[in-house]
Structure formats: structure tokens, C-alpha cells
Chain A
Amino acid sequence: MADILLEGRDLKKHYPVTKGLLQRTVGWVRAVDGVSFTIERGKTLSLVGESGAGKTTVAKAILLLERLTSGTILFEGKDVYKFSKSQLKMEYRPSVQSVQQNPWSSMDPRMRVRDIVAEPLVVNTKHTKEQIQSRVKELLQQVGLAPNHADYYPHEFSGGQRQRIAVARALALNPSLVVLDEPVSALDVSIRAQIMNLLKDLQEQYNLSYLVIAHNLATVRFMSHNVAIMYLGQIVEYGEAEEVFNRPLHPYTRALISASILKLPEDDVQGVQQIILSGEMPSPLNPPSGCRFHTRCVEAMDICSKVAPEERVIGQQRVKCHIYDDPSVQSALSSGFQPGTEGRPQPS
């Protein structure tokens, strides 16, 4: 069993929809509806999906910025919601840090870089001023910035440099897990590569676990060991990154890959057929019945609109799709059959 740092079990976050005079609750927006995953120590799990998938809500729940409606978060096996205030302060908060998406708003414009990077230490430790300052200089060096940058204000830096400062701040308390919410999507292409390489090096150097929230599949493939494809609050496919990308099982995963892959019209990339989804993204207010993807799925069957699919385990991958209800299809698949390119596997 891999060394599991943090586990999410059947996480749910529902927002009440109220109407009428007395604010009667008439429905629920099930932003996160039964999501389970594990983050292994030193490894990266990515939550991938389009807007409304609920990936940012999951990240906020782990950072304790939002309270879950139900489900448990286990940190090193212990239920986080049962942590006492001091346990939270001593054990959980220092070991779980985050880097936000927008470099222009994730730093207090009125503070110098020295104070920004030092704040986690000032709030959580009793170190002296000198100790903190030397630690700050060390952190800046690790993220590729010069020690004298500590005296500048955030607006004097480029987007890429600011993300480096954000990473330095996240490392201040030697965390074991860093939640990266769209860490590079606001950056230029060339700067993106610099930051992604930096994050990977730091992961190897400090055995850090990452939870990456992203919508760009190529970035995810480069960063992740495991990946969870999310759609409208549910995980539709979960598994090791290489397997999911080489052999996508769920029709939505295939559509996402087809839409994100960098492919010239005249070339044909092995194993990826051109899928253009129809219809609009359904609103989370009233998600489609049965399988939530059936309204846009190219391979939708009539059962899909009635019954929500069970989660099936095929090889190392977990998938929620009625295609795989038929056991013979499962066995065909587990013997290395490549779905998608030759159309749906015919039950033997």
C-alpha cells in the first residue's frame, strides 16, 4: 500500500437554492457530489475538469476555507474535522499550504516580499526576527530569486517571478502537501515552462505531495502521477496519469483529450479520434438525470439517461460509465484492448 498522506472519502458540498417568501429550500446545487481520492506522499494528484466541475471547491475544502456538507478528509489517517484547534494549528495548518492562480491578487500589494514570505513563519512559529529573515533568504534562493528581491513590493515583479514568490511562501513551513490551484494558467507559455520545471524539482527535493487543480490537460500530463477527471461535481474517471492518457476509458475523457491535443488537421495522432461534443454545459442548478454527461455524450445509450452508472474498476483505472457494465467488455479491456480507436468494444 502506497504511503497515503491525505484521503478524501465521498466528499459532498451542496448549496441550498431558496425561493419564495420564506426562503424555502426548493433544491440543491450539488457542486461536489460524492468525490473520493487519495494523495500519496511525494506524488501529484490532479483534479481536471471544466468550469462547474467542482474541483476548486474540493481544493477549498482541503484548505479548510469551506466546510463540507458530508464526507471525511483523512490526514495521515486522522479525520481532519475531529482535530482540536491546537492540533489544527500545530499539525494540519503548517503541513498543508497553497499557491493560487492569479499572481496579481495572491499577494498583499502593501507588503514587501520579505514580509509576504515570512508571514507563515511569523504566524505559526516563535522564531526570532533574524531566524525568519535568514529562512526567507534561503527560500528565495530555492525558487530562483536573488536575496535582495526581499526588499521590493509585488508590483515590481513580472507574473512568473510573483508565482516564484508564492511558491517560496508555500514552502516556508516545510509542508508535506501543497494545493496548486491553476498555478500556471495566468502565465505566458515560456514562463509557464520555467515554473512547472521548478515545481517538479522542488517535489523531488523535498518529497512534496501536490494536489493540482487545472483545466489544461497537457500541463496535467507533465505534472501528475495520478489524475481524476471531474464533470459536474463527480469523478468520472480516476487512475494513473499515463494509463488514463494512453487509454482513456470514459467518453468525456476522450472528448477532453481530443479538444485539448495540439494536432494539425492533416495529421492523425495515434489513438485519438476527433470528437466534437454537442450541446451546452448543463447548469449545476439542475444537472441531467442518470449519468450527468448523457446529454452531450457521443456514445449515450438509453440507460444512461435513467440510471447513474456504478463505478467500475478496470485494471488500475476507476470509471463511471454504462459501457463497462457488461462483464465481457471488462475482461476484453483488461487484456489490453484499446477502446475508442476501433469504436466501442463489441461484447463477445
Chain B
Amino acid sequence: MSNVILQVEDLHTSFFTRAGEVKAVDGISFYVREGETFGLVGESACGKTVTGLSILRLLPEPAGIIVGGKIILEGKNLLELSKKEMREIRGEKISMILQDPMTSLNPVYTVGDQIGESVRQHQHLPDDMVETEVVSALRLLGIPAPESRLHDYPFQMSGGMRQRVVGSIAMSCRPRLLIADEPTTALDATIQAQYLALFRDIQKQTDVAIIFITHDFGVVASICHRVAVMYAGKIMETASTSTIFKTPKHPYTSALIHSVPRLDRKDDRLYSIEGQPPSLLNLPPGCRFAPRCPDVQDVCHKQQPPEVEIGEGHTVSCWKVK
């Protein structure tokens, strides 16, 4: 078993707004191993993106604040680092890919500039060496004719190609951990399949640990080794991908998977979870999913269930599971 790169313990992140404290992430814990893709999956406003931003400590100023917990990377708690130390880690030890390739690249600088910038920032190489690094980063992401493409501007490239450039920027300093926030949501299905296959290879070559944030279960199935299902700021269940799909224990996980339309069979009616996700301003006291849960008991409304480990790496937070 490869060693653990990142350990998140009881992370609490809130946004302090005029309307009150929005508990975006309310106590989550998980770990990611070297060479492993860990999925953070859930519907909108479940806190998956906020978790990613908290790890990099890039929450929007001044509202977003990490109010509790630890984030340990190779033995160091990132929350105790100075701003300068944290900046050295961003881009070198941990990097991130954002969702929309159309807006992630600066329109007025060439692709080569934008990749070379992070290489120069972290590796302090002479200029000729920087160019070879840039070309190798572009080649790693399978971009054809990298020597000429690095002089192009972002608007001269298709969405898929730009997302590869963003990938090159992220991998240019061979980080230990890559956070990918919905990188393929804006891409077409066939281009998405290409992108996911590409990252499976990159992971084999570089052994980089990946936190893959998505709302699409198809993506989870094709690239993640282990998955955490999030709902309203908490992790409901964490398990290997096949366990999540085949033998989920938490009612929300099974309901969610059940309501995804399948391509390999014809359903005449889809299972749908009734009601609406809770507002993060006034969360229900007990289990967050209680108001919509088919197997709800009255204890669920009163108290939050503890996180119980029911198998190797399989944890669930639900009163139904002992």
C-alpha cells in the first residue's frame, strides 16, 4: 500500500456573510495515497469545491475562513504555515485544475509563457532549461507539436486542448498532489473520455495523488479508485469505487446512484429523491439528509450519526448502520 500523501482531519470551513455563517464544510476527514485518485462527489453546494480551495488555502477573502481541523501534507499541517511557505507549496507540491478551460488561461499571454512562469517560480532554472521543461510538460499532456504550440495564444485552441494546457501548468513542477475541480464538465463526452484516459496514464508515470471533484457518476466510475460522497458539508460515505456502486450502505449514496439514468438499460421511470437540499444557513440539527431520507428514524432528526468504519477503508455516517 503506497504511503499517505495528504491527511484531512475534521476540516471546518465557513463563509461569514451578512445573512449569517454559511457552514460550507462542517467537519470532514479523509486521506489520499500516492498514485491514487480519490473522488469527492456530490450535488451542488455540498462543499466539494470549498474543500479543494481549503486545502490550497485559496478561499475568497475576507468571507471564507477555515475555522477548524488539520490538513497534513507529508507530515506538515498546512494551516500552520506562513503565507510565504504556503505559496511555495502551491504549484510545486499541490496544484489544481479548474472547471472552465475558456476562462482559466490568461487571454493576453502565450501558452508557453503561462507554463514557463510556474517552472521559473519554483525551479529557478535558466531560460533555455525552462523551455525544455515547458515542452516536456506539454508532451506529458499529449499536446501534438509542442515546440510550435507553445507560441500560440489560448483563443487559438479548442476547449479540450486548453484544458490540456491547464493540465501542463499543473504538472509542470511534478506536484505530489493534484486537485481537479470538475475538469471535464465543460468538455464533450468523447473529449472527456480522452482527458480521463490521459490522466490515468499520467498517474501511472508520475505516481501523483489526485483529488477528483465531480458531480458526474460516470466520471467517478471511470477514473476514481476511492470515493467520498458528500451532502450539505459532510461526508456521508467513503469507500472503494466498486463498493460505492455495488454495495453502498448509506441511503443517500444508494438513492443518488439509483436516480442516475442508465445507458445500458431502458428504465420507464427514474427513482428520484423528493424535496430540496437544505440551506447551509440553518442546517437541521440531526443528520443533514434526514428530511429527505427514505429510511429515516426519529433519532436521525435529533443527533448527527458518528462516522463508523464497517470494512477496510469503508466508513459510513448513518444511524441505520451499526
By a beta-carbon cutoff of 8 Å, the part of chain A in contact with chain B is 50-51, 158, 160, 188-194, 196-197, 200, 215-219, 221-222, 242, 245, 255-266, 269, 272, 276-278, 280-281, 283, 296
Contact = CB atoms under 8 A, between A and B. Distances in A.
B153 to A, nearest CB: 16
A278 B193 CA distance: 10
B196 to A, nearest CB: 9
Nearest to B273: A190
Given A158-B276, A190-B272, A263-B222, A269 B197 contact: no
23 contacts: A50-B190, A188-B277, A189-B259, A189-B260, A190-B256, A190-B259, A190-B273, A193-B261, A194-B272, A197-B272, A200-B268, A216-B189, A245-B263, A258-B193, A259-B193, A260-B218, A262-B221, A262-B263, A263-B222, A264-B221, A265-B221, A277-B193, A280-B160
A262 B242 contact: no
Given A189-B43, A262-B218, A265-B222, A256 B270 contact: no
B215 A215 contact: no
Contacts of A262: 217-218, 221, 260, 262-264
Contacts of A256: 189-190
Interface residues of B, number: 41
Contacts of A222: 261, 266-267, 270
B238 interface: no
B189 A217 contact: yes
Contacts of B272: 190-191, 193-194, 197
Given A193-B261, A221-B261, A281-B158, A188 B189 contact: no
B241 interface: yes
Interface string B142-174: 000000000000000011110000000000000
Contacts of B260: 189, 218, 262
Interface string B248-267: 00000001100111111011
B264 A259 contact: no
Given A217-B189, A221-B261, 12 more contacts: A188-B215, A191-B272, A192-B259, A216-B189, A245-B266, A256-B190, A260-B189, A264-B221, A265-B221, A280-B160, A281-B188, A281-B191
Given A190-B256, A218-B262, A51 B242 contact: no
A272 B161 CA distance: 27
B192 interface: yes
Contacts of B31: none
A197 B269 contact: yes
B263 A264 contact: no
A219 to B, nearest CB: 6
Contacts of B276: 158, 160
A221 B270 contact: no
Nearest to B292: A190
B44 interface: yes
A103 B158 CA distance: 27
B194 interface: yes
A260 B270 CA distance: 18
A280 B161 contact: yes
Interface in B86-122: none
B189 A221 contact: no
B271 interface: yes
Contacts of B30: none
B241 A264 contact: yes
A196 B270 contact: yes
Contacts of A265: 221-222
B273 A269 contact: no
Nearest to B258: A193
B191 to A, nearest CB: 7
Interface of B: 43-44, 158-161, 188-194, 197, 215, 217-218, 221-222, 241-242, 245, 255-256, 259-264, 266-274, 276-277
Given A218-B261, A222-B261, A193 B218 contact: no
B254 to A, nearest CB: 12
Contacts of B215: 188-189
Contact of B264 (A261, A276, A280): A261
Contacts of A197: 269-270, 272
Contacts of B271: 193
Given A193-B272, A262-B221, A281-B158, A257 B190 contact: no
A193 B270 contact: yes
A250 to B, nearest CB: 13
A214 to B, nearest CB: 11
A189 B217 contact: yes
B259 to A, nearest CB: 4
Contacts of B160: 280-281
A277 B190 contact: yes
Contacts of B255: 190
Contacts of A264: 221, 241-242, 245
Contacts of B217: 189, 262
A218 B221 CA distance: 15
Contacts of A158: 276
A198 to B, nearest CB: 10
A70 B160 CA distance: 32
A278 B191 CA distance: 9
Among B256, B260, B268, residue most surrounded by chain A Cβ atoms (within 10 Å): B260
A245 B159 CA distance: 28
Contacts of A257: 263
Q: Which 6 A-B pairs have the closest CB atoms?
A: A193-B272, A50-B188, A259-B193, A193-B270, A218-B261, A188-B43
B188 A261 contact: no
A255 B221 CA distance: 17
Contact of B44 (A188, A242, A245, A280): A188
Nearest to A260: B189
Contacts of A283: 158
A272 B263 CA distance: 11
A330 B193 CA distance: 31
A158 B279 CA distance: 11
Contacts of A258: 193
A51 B192 CA distance: 13
